A and B are shown apart, each in its own frame.
Chain A
Amino acid sequence: MEQPTTPPSVVYEHAHHIDAHEELGWWRKYVFSTDHKVIGIQYAITGLLFLLFGFGLMMLMRWQLAYPGKPIPLIGPWLGQSRAPMGIMLPEFYNQLGAMHGTIMVFLGVVPLAVGGFGNFVMPLQIGAPDMAFPKINMMSYWVYFIGGVIMLASFFPTTGAAQSGWTSYTPLSVITATSGQTFWLVGMIFLITSSLLGSINFITTIVQLRAKGLSYMRLPFFVWAQFVTSFLLLLAFPPLEAAGILQLMDKVAGTSFFLPSGLVISGKPLAVAGQGNPLLWQHLFWFLAHPEVYVLILPAMGIVSEIIANNTRKPLWGYKALVYSVVFLGFMSFIVWAHHMFMTGMGTTMSAFFQTTTMIISIPSVVILTALLLSLWGASIRFTTPMLFALAFLPMFGIGGLTGLPLGLAPSDIHLHDTYYVIGHFHYVVAPGTIFALFAGIYHWFPKATGRKMNELLGKLHFWGSLVCINLVFMPMFIQGLAGMNRRMYDGGAQYAHNQGVLHWNVVQGYAAWGLGLFQIFFIINFFMSLKWGKAVDKNPWEATTLEWLAPSPPGHGNFLTEPIVYRAPYEYSVPGAAKDFSPQFEPEKA
Chain B
Amino acid sequence: MNIPYTVEERPDSGLANGKLGIWLFLASEVMLFGALFSTYIILRTGATEWPHGELSVPLGALNTVLLISSSVTMVMAWAMLKLHNWGRHRLYLLATFALAGIFLVNKYFEYSDHLARGEGPSHSTFLAIYFTLTGLHGLHIVGGMVVMAYLLGPGARLWKQNPDQFTNRIEYTGLYWHFVDLVWIFLFPVLYLL
Contacts and interface: CB of A to CB of B under 8 A. Distances in A.
* Residues of B in contact with A, size category: 35 or more
Nearest to A251: B128
A523 B160 CA distance: 58
A281 B24 contact: no
Contacts of B15: 208-209
A238 B24 CA distance: 13
A558 B36 CA distance: 42
Nearest to B49: A276
**Interface size classification for chain A:** 35 or more
A247 interface: yes
B114 interface: no
A257 B125 contact: yes
Interface stretch (A10-18, A295-303, A581-589): A10-18
Contacts of B158: none
A14 B43 contact: no
A104 B20 CA distance: 32
Given A276-B47, A276-B48, A250 B132 contact: yes
Contacts of A276: 43, 46-48, 124-125
A14 B2 CA distance: 8
Nearest to A277: B125
Contacts, number: 146
Contacts of B43: 258, 276-278, 281
Contact of A239 (B12, B13, B32): B32
B136 interface: yes
Contacts of B46: 276, 278
A205 B4 CA distance: 12
B27 A274 contact: no
A100 interface: no
A316 to B, nearest CB: 26
A4 interface: yes
Interface in A540-586: 558-559
Contacts of B123: 274
A246 B128 contact: no
A569 B168 CA distance: 35
Contacts of B33: 243
Interface in A203-229: 204-205, 208-210
A209 B35 contact: no
Interface string B20-43: 110011011101111110010011
A246 B33 CA distance: 12
Nearest to B22: A201
A130 B39 contact: no
B28 A236 contact: yes
Contacts of B121: 250, 254-256
A38 B34 CA distance: 36
Interface stretch (A131-139, A360-368, A459-467, A509-517): A131-139
Contact of A131 (B3, B34, B42): B3
A444 interface: no
A407 to B, nearest CB: 30
Interface in A109-155: 130-135, 137
B11 interface: yes
Contacts of A388: none
A441 B125 CA distance: 50
19 contacts: A5-B11, A11-B2, A14-B2, A130-B3, A133-B17, A205-B24, A210-B5, A235-B28, A239-B32, A239-B35, A240-B34, A243-B33, A246-B36, A250-B132, A254-B128, A255-B120, A256-B122, A257-B125, A277-B125
Given A240-B32, A244-B35, A276-B47, 8 more contacts: A131-B1, A209-B10, A236-B31, A243-B36, A243-B39, A276-B43, A285-B39, A288-B35
Closest 9 A/B residue pairs (Cβ): A255-B122, A240-B35, A256-B128, A243-B35, A239-B32, A239-B31, A7-B4, A133-B17, A276-B125
